Structure 1
């Protein structure tokens, strides 16, 4: 039986081949992250990057299901909730990694201590996750014809993704200030001479090794694609459930799916276990009393 694409919740019928490719790509990256996290004993990767990949796999599997059964409400519910939430744990990994970089390069250049930095932004990430999840659940569970329920869910999702976008912007400004102060050697607190009590409390300047440069570059690129995805999502939801943006598949595939694929694989190749794990064990920098999130446990 032929189905009119306008009759589906998407406004189109998801392309089977595209959905299959994304499921495979996310599956490979997620499996690699799981193995890398275990190999480097970076257990925080499991509830962040691995969780993000698992959600994306589930969401794109829901879209693949929809490509076979376009009118299936369960498939639509799975994809809308999973894909809206997927990038949030991935963003949390960015916060943790930057906290480690701050510890390695010098907390004296950061407006927030590494631990405080991670706690503040991770808390905001959790709030965004809860709000987006609640909105996605309401929108997906709204009965056919329940315009108010669908609109309410969409507005809540919009609030959550807008909050996440604001967090990304603030995070970029704060981390940008840290890097500017580091490169120009303008600490927020006066540095002390070697051997002094201030140095022992973590007032130091770490060396920017090649590995740390690669990690910084990967972090910046990862943040860029997550920012692009968030901007797209905000515009998409503002346009409404029947708007041109949300009912155009190619926009979603490129500006959501492809952006998260790039973000996931960036950390596969520029993995913090390779670039930070060993560096943390070899650095001459003295850890601060306001120690950061442990990147590696033994």
Structure 2
């Protein structure tokens, strides 16, 4: 299995030939997890999971199909561009699902413990996520249309900017989520209930909500998925910083593990600890804790 750049691969865009069975495996697994997410989104009636996690799965299927194509036609530029663009920006859609889930969680457990209002999590972070997505798409388009190595390098730098924006958003989201949970567990609100907006106040129970198994599972699911996406974003940042012919981008194993496996792991985590199911259960079992 070729994993690093070799002299006979000098005309291959990847600087290696993607391994057929690995690409096939990822196409199958992303198809399965994506189909399951589609069923789960409809079953739980959490429709916002369709344009987020399901779209991420579709993008990953397209990306790994491009790599599968490249395993048979390694010098074909179309297949390379197909996979580089979709695997770069597809996880942005899943990140949006994590942002929305935290907003719902804050709304149910107590907006008074949250630095931001529940709706602001969706508005702010999904807007930043969209900006990141657009920047990555523009960079990918520029790199694809480039006729010189310099032009491709400039496009790569633009894509890098989009990845850095996403990385910063994930870092800030993680900080706010950790702070919210610490304040909730220690009962140290940022604001008094009387300071909440009318819309937020409608959701507030006089007492703290019970910390039950459902909440713990939701926290585990969000934490693990966020950690995997964060690792993946760090990897892609280093990869693009290293250039199109750098050692990082030219090593297949890094991509398979730190991108493919990380994103797949995040999707499977949300299949098992499904936010739609857990949020619905948390709402139906919402019991005040004395």
TM norm structure 1: 0.89
Alpha-carbon distance in structure 1 between the residues aligned to 2:252 and 2:228:
19
Deviation per CA, 1:229-265, whole angstroms, max 9, x where unpaired?
A: 0000111111111110000000000000000000000
Q: How does 1:11-22 map to 2 (within 5 A)?
A: 11-22=15-26
Deviation per CA, 1:1-29, whole angstroms, max 9, x where unpaired?
A: xx921211101111101000000010000
> In 2, are the aligned partners of 1:105 and 1:208 still within 8 Å (CA)?
no
Deviation per CA, 1:175-226, whole angstroms, max 9, x where unpaired?
A: 111111111110012357xxxxx96573652222211110101100000000
Alpha-carbon distance in structure 2 between the residues aligned to 1:4 and 1:200:
66
* Matching residue of 1:207: 210
* Matching residue of 1:186: 188
Query: SS of the counterpart of 1:221?
Result: helix
Alpha-carbon distance in structure 1 between the residues aligned to 2:210 and 2:68:
47
* Matching residue of 2:73: 69
* Matching residue of 1:227: 230
* Matching residue of 1:289: none
Deviation per CA, 1:136-173, whole angstroms, max 9, x where unpaired?
A: 12112323xx1121011100011000111111111111
Higher mean alpha-carbon deviation, 53-62 vs 31-40, is at: 31-40
Q: How does 1:235-254 map to 2 (within 5 A)?
A: 235-254=238-257
1:118 equivalenced with 2:126 (yes/no): no
Higher mean alpha-carbon deviation, 109-118 vs 269-278, is at: 269-278
Alpha-carbon distance in structure 1 between the residues aligned to 2:124 and 2:168:
14
Task: Pick from 245, 252, 261 the counterpart of residue 258 of structure 1.
Answer: 261
* Matching residue of 2:61: 57
Query: SS of the counterpart of 1:12?
Result: coil
* Matching residue of 2:159: 157
* Matching residue of 1:99: 103
Q: 5+ unaligned residues in a row in structure 2: which ranges? A: 1-6, 195-199
> In 2, are the aligned partners of 1:139 and 1:152 still within 8 Å (CA)?
yes
> In 2, are the aligned partners of 1:10 and 1:246 still within 8 Å (CA)?
yes
* Matching residue of 1:46: 50
Deviation per CA, 1:254-284, whole angstroms, max 9, x where unpaired?
A: 0000000000000101012221113223425
Count of aligned pairs: 276
Query: SS of the counterpart of 2:191?
Result: coil
Q: 5+ unaligned residues in a row in structure 1: which ranges? A: 193-197, 286-298
Alpha-carbon distance in structure 1 between the residues aligned to 2:221 and 2:202:
31
Alpha-carbon distance in structure 2 between the residues aligned to 1:273 and 1:83:
25
Alpha-carbon distance in structure 1 between the residues aligned to 2:202 and 2:83:
51
> In 2, are the aligned partners of 1:77 and 1:141 still within 8 Å (CA)?
no
1:88 equivalenced with 2:92 (yes/no): yes
Task: Pick from 248, 268, 272 the counterpart of residue 271 of structure 2.
Answer: 268
